[in-house]
Amino acid sequence: MEGELTQTLKSAQRGLLMRPIFGQILTITLKQHDDQIKQALIQAIKKLDSEIAKKDDRALVVAFAPALWGQWSGRSINISTKVLDGGVNFQNTGGDVLIYIKSPDHATANELVAFILPSLEPLVDDSRSIKALPLGKRPDGRIFGGRYVDHISNPNDPISLIEDILIPGADPIRGGTFGFTQRFVFDWGDIAAESGDTLNSVIGRRPDGEIIPEHATNSHIHRAHMLDEDHDQRKVLRQALPYGGEAASREEGLMFVAFCNDQGRFETILQNMVGDRPERPADRIMDYIQGVEGSYWYVPSAVELNISGVKSQRDMYEDPHWIIRSPNKYLFFNSHDYMHQMSEENYEGGDPPSQRILSLMSRTLSHWQDGWMTRSNFPRLKHLKELKDFFPASQTKTIPKSIHERKGLANYVTLAYLLSSPDSDVARDNGLTRISAKELIVGAIPDFTLGRGKEVVPYLDDEETMSAWLRCQLNEWSAMGHIVPNLQTLVDHGLAAMIADFDKRAKDPKNQKDANKTSFFIAARDSFKGVQEYLKNWVKIATQARNRATEMDDKKTMDGVIRGLNNIVNNVPSSFQEAVQLIFSFHCCLHLVGELTSFGRIDQILWPFLERDIQKGTIDNNRAQEIVDNFWIKVGENAFVDRSLIYDYRSYGTTSVNGMGGNFPQGGGINQWVQQITVGGYLATDSETPEGGANPVTLLCLKAARRLPVSAPSLSLRVYKGIPDNYLKEAAKSILAGGAHPVLYNDDKLCEGLFQSGKTVTRAWSRDYAADGCYEPMMTGASEFTFGNVAPMLALEQALNQGSTYGAAGSVHLRGLKQTFRSPPTHEIKDFSQLQDIFLGQLRWLVIQTYHFLLSSYGNLEGICPSPLLSGVLDGCVESGRDLTSGGAKFHIIAPLCIGIANTIDSLYAIKKLCFDPETARATLPELVKCLICDWGFDMIEPYQNSSLGPANAAERGVRYKELREVALGLPKWASGSDDKELKDLGTWFINKMVDMCVDTMRKPAPALRDLLDGIQKKYGPDFEFVVQPGIGTFEGYIGDGLDCGASADGRRKGTPIASDMSPVPAPADLPAAPVHRNIYRAMESYADKAIEIGLSNAAPVDMNIPENFPLEKLEEFLADYAEGKVGGNMISLTCADLETYQKASEDPEKYNLLRVRMGGWTEFYPTMFPGYQEHQQRRQYFVHE
């Protein structure tokens, strides 16, 4: 712990932080308030303190009426009592002194009371002036007849205690606090009459402490929580104990005792509980309890009272409810345990974040915690025509005809006022002006995600909106983002110079001949001016934070932030901190206008700034780590933890990834913030021998990812031959910390694949790639992107079913949905090679169909939803004078992303073994197809099973099909470590054919595509080229993508999930989760093929579960082998968590609120995932080193 933190804790009364089990409360009314009484009382307290200090299992808290202590200490201690004085639900019965004795049992408490009573009696009028209340019924501290665990959500780590409980500053007030007591009587008649579920809903928790995510808004834990002006939950230290009651299972009531450093917080909480009608309180718990006596108190510091203060970490406790730990020392399961271990320096990793960072992390965790209680929904923003008053001063108050210029003005208004101004209700009410005076990097990301959607300023009129919907289902919400901006240009030139360049180009006579070019530059100029105004607003916000700050260090921190913000409004950054601030601020602006984008290679951008600062002696590594850590927290400070409170902002056109609107699976993308960071990798050179680019900032990012349990940013590490060991060792520790940070790309494979993907891609550009919003690699700051899915599983269904998919087969669609050409029926397919040829023919149709869709939709966003802010930092757009939606980027990536690869390979193999191999065949191909249409005998449908034959007949045939499924499930599975050469060869054949087909279909286009390509090239010029990058991409869609698929021959049931990305198949969804453990090296042999490693240049991610006890040294060894190319594949993600951990997290999400997993292209909090996604994660195979 650091100096200020240590001093504040040591100044607190030792007993304040001790967990209560048994004890007594003495409420004392003195006969006089003179100095003689004061001195006698203080002496009595000191004697009791000395007696208590003889043993560690007992403690003391002493408090005073605020007015009395103010009188005795010569200072004013003001409090508010308006709600407490209301008198209906609570009572303010006053008192001069409160002595709270904590003990291990009743006998000890009685002895200590007997010890002090003789010293107190001369100070009061009579015995009635000392009210003694024995406390505690049972060692576990449960209340309501032992039903509930109390005060489990208490802050009990040093950072949280400082933030919420102890008064900061200097002695003598440092370490003091305010107290509140209230003795409640229970109405056991009503309590005993209620069902357990009703009582759970009253409290908001179940008996073992699990939060009820969908609890009523009037449950106790909902009403008893409060938010500050930054929408952060502020806590109190609850130390209540039950009292009285003749029966062991029936306490008379509860003596509520609580402490916090802001007395007004108690009033706010009481008001929340009472609501607007005190006679009918909002908090349902008030129906069963009644306050009868209590008051507010001031608790002086131990220094001021000259009694025992906090001496060591043993004086602080962690509630046993939260003490659940992984076998590895890097993985944390919940925020309570994380804060306790980190702030008390118990982190076995050895390098906990600084006090500043832990303070900010505590604030962020508190912000997330409120997500269990409530979530405010982002409002719809006004139309541009209603916001003319906020146009730039130089702009006329009329709406331009140009869509580009309208979008530029919408961006300006959004950034300059609506979503950043301290005067904007929308900004304030939605947490967009949140700031802490401890922050080195300031700003706020809006709560826009791919899954939930976003809000933007509309600018189309009604007729334009209808026209866009009819043509392509697009609208103002359709901006894709999801690419990598060129932030290097931003830090190299600065905002003012870029604005001047846009303005110059807009006025250039050559450009003025093309109205679209002129409008593009005007829109970019206005958008960038909005960024300047955004920064100026944050100068105001930071200034307000400085003025509110009470600590001199915080004021100095804000002074530095203000200087930096003022500089980067116009100029290039002058320091590492300013460079990070400019990058983060611009990133915020992109997200605020609906362009959800990644960061790119920030280690390459930032290292020159850090290196220069180090040489100047203005920064050291610790300070640099603090800046990066602060940046990491700012990126990840928004998170949704309770899926029941998720609000869906999406419209029909939100975030189009291919020029068309529509729906895609949202439920898996709740926390997909599109905030990727890529580090490491080769330098962007054209030299024959590549040069490694990992640098000290790379290491700072890896350490931040390991030590800060956020879901964003998602970190990607590019590894290569010869990468220094220290990067791989840090990456291994970070992976064991959970969340699959970092994911790993192999540069020696992907760079070659990118180099071969297009004529315009040079060696330097192929080495300058970064992950987009998910994982797709693209040339950094120079690429726009369109993709569509290709589903070989559907092609296989069509090959088996005469061009029809059979997932919808039955009495409505008969053999299924007719999709492509009618291939031969199964009884005419004589051998497996014939089926392979038919399958490839069906797959070719789907590939052509995907490309036709993408090419037909290309450019649709132009004239509906341009992207002037993002285009301004994208190579090619400024040079060409064209928005990225108008083909302006340097590179135009088109990617067919194939899905269900492992299922397809395993199904082909199963068909071969079940139907064509004379040694293993168990059914004819027609019989197998009927079996699949009938979902392996679980859905015996017409016309394949005549219902008139009765259920017995159907069941008999169903048994046969189910037996066949057992055989299919028992066959070797691809990429699971099997030695079956036939399976491996089949997988290699299929993937090579698939990759060649995806490339050749564009390079040697069919007539159906030729006209479309010619039209695009005619529009954008003869040098226009599509960079063809086949890849693999279920992302989070492995559940949704499985819905349309019938049962597959690998044993998978109809409509159930498919394998994620290019991973091996999971255990069947209808069977208990019992994933097998495979050798990681043998499994990766299936990916050691050029078609995968180089041909799938848009990446072929393999998502793996590894157990929590995976040895660190073995993981380091595996990463080194992967970097050296000794292991197959071009991209892997490793999620560390055991099956038992997942299962417990599903039952008690709050206790596992930091458990994170790889979810398609990002990291997600496991408790937030819908059950189907959780179950899929549990069924993924595990990979071990042996």
Q: Which tokens sit at 954?
A: 């159907």
pLDDT tens digits, 938-947: 999 999 999 8
Of 1168, 164, 1133, nearest in space to 641 by CA: 1168
Return the amino acid letter for 825: P
HSE-up of residue 905 (Cα within 13 Å, Cβ side): 30
Other CB atoms within 10 Å distance of the CB of residue 947: 13
Measured between alpha carbons, how far is 1056 from 1039 in angstroms, rounded to an integer? 7
Q: Do 1000 and 918 form a contact (C-beta atoms < 8 A)? A: no
Measured between alpha carbons, how far is 2 from 438 in angstroms, rounded to an integer? 15
Q: Do 907 and 896 form a contact (C-beta atoms < 8 A)? A: no
Measured between alpha carbons, how far is 809 from 85 in angstroms, rounded to an integer? 70
Q: Do 155 and 161 form a contact (C-beta atoms < 8 A)? A: yes
Backbone angles phi, psi at 678, to 5 degrees: -115, 130
pLDDT of residue 652: 94
Quick one: 8 exposed, middle or buried, by C-beta within 10 A (0-12, 13-18, 19+)?
buried
Residue 673 has pLDDT above 60, yes or no: yes
pLDDT tens digits, 884-912: 999 999 999 999 999 999 999 999 999 99
What count of residues does the chain have?
Answer: 1186
Torsion over CA of 278, 279, 284 and 290, rounded to 10 degrees?
Answer: 90
Average pLDDT for residues 1142-1151, to the nearest whole number? 94
Of 20-24, 229-233, 361-365, 990-994, which gets the smallest average pLDDT? 229-233
Of 246, 288, 283, 305, nearest in space to 64 by CA: 305
Measured between alpha carbons, how far is 1083 from 342 in angstroms, rounded to an integer? 37
Of 896, 933, 663, nearest in space to 791 by CA: 896
H-helix or E-strand spanning residue 504: helix 495-507
pLDDT of residue 456: 98
Across the chain, what does the average pLDDT equal? 94
pLDDT of residue 214: 61
**Structure-token match 């309501």, residue found:** 144
Measured between alpha carbons, how far is 7 from 192 in angstroms, rounded to an integer? 48
Between 259 and 206, name the one with better pLDDT.
259
Cβ partners under 8 Å of residue 114, min gap 6: none
How far CA 393 is from CA of 389, 399, 421, 424, 919, in Å, comes to 9, 14, 16, 18, 82
Return the amino acid letter for 528: F
pLDDT tens digits, 605-655: 999 999 999 999 999 999 999 999 999 999 999 988 888 778 898 999 998
Q: Assign domain 783-1062+1084-1098 to its CATH architecture.
A: Alpha-Beta Barrel (3.20)
Residue 215 has pLDDT above 60, yes or no: no
Q: Which tokens sit at 998?
A: 């995806």
Between 593 and 346, name the one with better pLDDT.
593
H-helix or E-strand spanning residue 59: strand 59-64
Q: CA angle, 785 as apex, 779 and 787 as ends, to 5°?
A: 130
Q: Do 151 and 240 form a contact (C-beta atoms < 8 A)? A: yes
pLDDT tens digits, 85-131: 987 889 999 999 999 999 999 999 999 999 999 999 999 998 889 99
Return the amino acid letter for 901: I
Q: Do 352 and 345 form a contact (C-beta atoms < 8 A)? A: yes
DSSP secondary-structure letter at 150? -
Measured between alpha carbons, how far is 456 from 1142 in angstroms, rounded to an integer? 37
**Which residues are bridge partners to 184 per DSSP?**
254, 291
Q: If phi over 0 gives left and psi between -120 and 50 gives alpha, with beta otherwise, what is residue 1106?
A: beta
Domain boundaries, the chain: 3-305, 387-435+443-576, 597-645+675-775+1099-1186, 783-1062+1084-1098
pLDDT tens digits, 1062-1119: 999 999 999 999 878 999 999 999 999 999 999 999 999 999 999 999 999 999 999 9
pLDDT of residue 705: 98
pLDDT of residue 375: 65
Q: Do 1149 and 335 form a contact (C-beta atoms < 8 A)? A: no
pTM for this model (two decimals): 0.95
**Which residues are bridge partners to 285 per DSSP?**
none
Measured between alpha carbons, how far is 1151 from 369 in angstroms, rounded to an integer? 12
Measured between alpha carbons, how far is 443 from 434 in angstroms, rounded to an integer? 7
Measured between alpha carbons, how far is 1087 from 449 in angstroms, rounded to an integer? 32
The alpha carbon dihedral of 430, 436, 442, 447 has a sign of negative
Return the amino acid letter for 687: S
pLDDT band at 216 (very low <50, low <70, confident <90, very high): low
Residues of 730-746 as b/e, b for ≥16 C-beta within 10 angstroms? bbbbbbbbbbbbbbbbb
Measured between alpha carbons, how far is 863 from 886 in angstroms, rounded to an integer? 9
**Which residues are bridge partners to 1133 per DSSP?**
1103
Q: Do 1073 and 1139 form a contact (C-beta atoms < 8 A)? A: yes
Measured between alpha carbons, how far is 1095 from 775 in angstroms, rounded to an integer? 16
Q: Do 896 and 847 form a contact (C-beta atoms < 8 A)? A: yes
Q: Do 166 and 175 form a contact (C-beta atoms < 8 A)? A: yes
Other CB atoms within 10 Å distance of the CB of residue 580: 27
DSSP string, 82-109: TTGGG-SS------SEEEEEEESSHHHH
Q: Do 654 and 784 form a contact (C-beta atoms < 8 A)? A: no
pLDDT of residue 3: 55
Residue 4 has pLDDT above 70, yes or no: no
pLDDT tens digits, 330-341: 999 999 999 999
Whole-number percent of the chain with pLDDT over 90: 83
Q: Which tokens sit at 91?
A: 């009572």
Average pLDDT for residues 255-264, to the nearest whole number? 96
Q: Do 734 and 705 form a contact (C-beta atoms < 8 A)? A: yes
Return the amino acid letter for 746: N
Average pLDDT for residues 478-501, to the nearest whole number? 97
pLDDT band at 394 (very low <50, low <70, confident <90, very high): confident
How far CA 116 is from CA of 113, 187, 305, 722, 742, in Å, comes to 5, 34, 17, 72, 60
pLDDT band at 784 (very low <50, low <70, confident <90, very high): very high
Measured between alpha carbons, how far is 670 from 537 in angstroms, rounded to an integer? 29
Backbone angles phi, psi at 745, to 5 degrees: -110, 145
pLDDT tens digits, 518-576: 999 999 999 999 999 999 999 999 999 999 998 899 999 999 999 999 999 999 999 99
DSSP string, 126-171: SGGGEEEEEE-SSTT--BTTTTB--STT---SHHHIIIIIS--SST
Q: Do 503 and 510 form a contact (C-beta atoms < 8 A)? A: no
Query: In whole angstroms, what separates CA 452 from the centre of its chain?
Result: 13
Cis peptide before 926, with omega less than 30 degrees from 0? no
Return the amino acid letter for 706: R
Return the amino acid letter for 481: G
Q: Do 181 and 254 form a contact (C-beta atoms < 8 A)? A: no
Backbone angles phi, psi at 464, to 5 degrees: -65, -40
Q: At what angle do helices 621-636 and 696-707 cross, to 10 degrees?
A: 50
pLDDT tens digits, 708-751: 999 999 999 999 999 999 999 999 999 999 999 999 999 999 99
Return the amino acid letter for 519: S
pLDDT of residue 1: 39
Measured between alpha carbons, how far is 123 from 28 in angstroms, rounded to an integer? 9
pLDDT of residue 47: 97
Measured between alpha carbons, how far is 488 from 606 in angstroms, rounded to an integer? 9
Cβ partners under 8 Å of residue 936, min gap 6: 961, 962, 964, 965, 1047, 1051, 1053
